[in-house]
Chains A and B, each alone.
Chain A
Amino acid sequence: MPLILTEEQMMLRDAADGFLNEQAPISHLRKLRDEGDPDGVSRDLWRAFGEMGFAGVIIPEAMGGMGLGAVEAGVIAESLGRTLTPSPFMGSSVLSAKVLIDGGSEAQQAWLPRIAAGEAILALAVDEGAKHAPSRIATQAERAGNGFRLNGAKGFVLDGHVADALIVVARAEEGVTLFLVDPATAGVTVERTAMVDAHNAARITLSDVAVDADAVIGDVGQGGALLDGALTLGRACAASTLTGAGDQAFKITMDYLRTRKQFGKLIGEFQALQHRAAHLFSELELARAATLGAQLAIDEGRENASLAASIAKAKAGRVAELAVQEAVQMHGGVGMTDEFDVSLFMKRVRVLNELLGDAGFHAERLARAQGF
């Protein structure tokens, strides 16, 4: 497959860009933030997102989705990065949907049409410490009666505070196991954590939470593979959002270089800034290629897809970080004000960098895979 979007994919991109620019530009984020919205996301927007088909991008058509792949999910994720729209897309349509598509029982897959329609919000609870470390799950799943008892604590659970259902990663005697948990179950406590980017995550504690055997997604002890699939897709999509955010910050900056005058010149006439703009352009091209490469690898079911996603996440993360830092710096004092959008990009990129493993995590993963 060539490393460019097909015509259909470009149409999807234009539709997503058009929808988000109209329905949820950056002012949407500002409004939710400034009003201290208790959800931090708009349910109405989520429903509209569903009507457009975006929320079900990877969900099979038989379940109300578009039945498309990672490239298309990335296209939408990238649009979300450009507009900074708070959306359950990553948690529901990517991470949770992927787990349920690959391993869900019929009853569990009943959630998929609701995700696709933008009616339900699901959350994947994987991280436990400050850093992403899926190999070190400590949440315990003990057999109790014909079901399980869950104990543990999760953090950085995207949309955990508004989730209609949780997918909890836990460790059973047989190994990592995923559970579909109703957040209203006794023993589950959910605390919203407002993040620096005004998007939302939650801390969730599970204390003696009793679930039935049919809460298990896939097979007991076989959750690792399901989780890997979701993490790989999630990382590739996060790379897209990072690329979108970095690219948008870059565009805003280029506009500023073309208009702001100092010393009687446009600041874009200073070579000190020109070379950095040119460098950033180069970096963004690499991020874009790495991201699309990972998504194609996923869609083609290549063996190296998981590592390709790590490369994409690391590269896009570092590049987006550079793009927002340069954006603030090249704006001078204006870049430090809340009123100006570049600051919002800086905040969002910082959070996305931490999500599903930062650049260091993925570099380490690559090093191990290559045996050094």
Chain B
Amino acid sequence: MSDLEPFRAETRAWLADNCPTECRGPMADDEMIWGGRNPTFKTPAHKLWLERMGARGWTAPEWPKEYGGGGLSREEAKVLASELRRIEAQPALASFGVWMLGPALLAFGTEEQKQRFLPEIVRGEVRWCQGYSEPGAGSDLAAIQTRAEDTSDSGGDHWIVNGQKIWTSYADKADWIFCLVRTDPEAPKHLGISFVLFDMTTPGVTTRPITLISGKSPFCETFFDDVRVEKANLVGTLNRGWDVAKYLLAHERTMIGAMGEVGGGRPVGQVALDAIGADDDGRLDEPMLRARIAELEIDAAAFRLAMERVGDQVKAKQAHPAIASMLKYYGSELNKRRHELLMAAGGADALEWEGERSHDGKTARDWLRTKANSIEGGTSEVQLNIIAKHLLQLPGA
């Protein structure tokens, strides 16, 4: 461990110089920096913070340097993460490119695709969205119907894509989409799917927002009407897009699972103390709630360590095949529990939906948003099915 100390010192010094004070402390969901062609930044300092982190490759610390990443070892990346936590640095970039597409491109992309797409993801210059789900294909993702066809007017180097996606988060704000399309309608459902990339400004792409229960609307329905997609933007092998999709889902699931670990903001016990007060011994003056919060903190601490351990296992190639599903399942259920308790701790104050005092119902809206954690990226039921199939060595695992 001690050989990491110089790296830690160096990192700490760099962060001290480069992380603007405005970019430290808690950050609301809707203040996240998503980058893209038309980026919005909470403050100029946030722009600077992204530029600096992007230039160093630290928005994707473990990706190879040749593709713009940080080139850090796993151990170094942990040090970076802990130093960022130490100064309560806000994430420089929120990105489906970093969380999901990047790892899939690193594993399946051509050299050309990696050179072209990864550096701009690291620097937050292009915003991606995920075109997986369709009205009839949610949990049964392999049932997708969106067609990519080789027609006479496609000139041989293009497909013509037609179909509809649903629940596409931020499709209306994204620059590019990574998308599952059916390229062989005759083949068994898992074997006729391809994974393609295209620009959301391509003619024939339209989006329509869907309002969520939190009152916000990052979701869209996305329609493709004779969209021309370059064949060069196929990732992996034709008709074997399911392998890429599954690989990407594993990353997405780990990322969603990790939300249970981060939690964000003040510890639930502190929030409860503020709202409810202490008894004469300084204990939270609601014994039932106090017990539930303590149970949560035990699970959360154990989960944090499990996350870390899984990272180490992956590096050492010892990870259980069901592990991504386990993290997704447990992490998202944990995060939901945390927010249920935050609501209980906040009492009547947490029920306010509008107005300055409640920051327009931030606690309540965040609580409602977490209900999606066990649905997005594959539901808890589907994760449990996957885990059980692996455990019982059933077909399809």
Contact = CB atoms under 8 A, between A and B. Distances in A.
Interface in B326-349: 336, 343-344, 346-349
Contact of B354 (A194, A329, A363): A194
Contacts of B351: 156, 195-197, 201, 350-351, 354
B384 to A, nearest CB: 7
A324 B139 CA distance: 20
A132 B347 CA distance: 8
**Of B336, B367, B375, most A-chain CB atoms within 10 Å:** B375
Contacts of B343: 350
A329 B213 CA distance: 13
Contacts of B364: 196, 350
**Of B136, B276, B349, most A-chain CB atoms within 10 Å:** B349
Contacts of A201: 348, 351
B231 to A, nearest CB: 31
A346 B348 contact: no
Contacts of B371: 325, 328-329, 335-336, 346
A194 B352 CA distance: 6
Contact of B138 (A195, A262, A343, A354): A262
Nearest to A330: B381
A329 B374 contact: yes
B348 A354 contact: yes
**Of B143, B276, B344, B351, most A-chain CB atoms within 10 Å:** B351
A131 B136 CA distance: 44
B71 to A, nearest CB: 38
A332 B213 contact: no
B213 A346 contact: yes
A370 B349 CA distance: 31
A156 B167 CA distance: 35
Given A131-B286, A336-B372, A338-B215, A360 B275 contact: no
B352 A360 contact: no
Contact of A332 (B139, B292, B348): B139
B212 A130 contact: no
A198 interface: yes
**Of A198, A262, A270, most B-chain CB atoms within 10 Å:** A262
A156 B348 contact: yes
Contacts of A263: 139-140, 143
B211 A338 contact: yes
B375 A329 contact: yes
Interface in A169-195: 193-195
**Of B136, B353, B361, B374, most A-chain CB atoms within 10 Å:** B353
B353 A198 contact: yes
Contacts of A301: none
Interface of B: 133, 136, 138-140, 143, 166-167, 210-213, 215, 219, 275-277, 286-289, 292, 336, 343-344, 346-355, 361, 364, 367-368, 371-372, 374-376, 379-381, 384-385
9 contacts: A130-B350, A155-B348, A156-B351, A270-B381, A328-B213, A328-B371, A333-B138, A335-B371, A350-B351
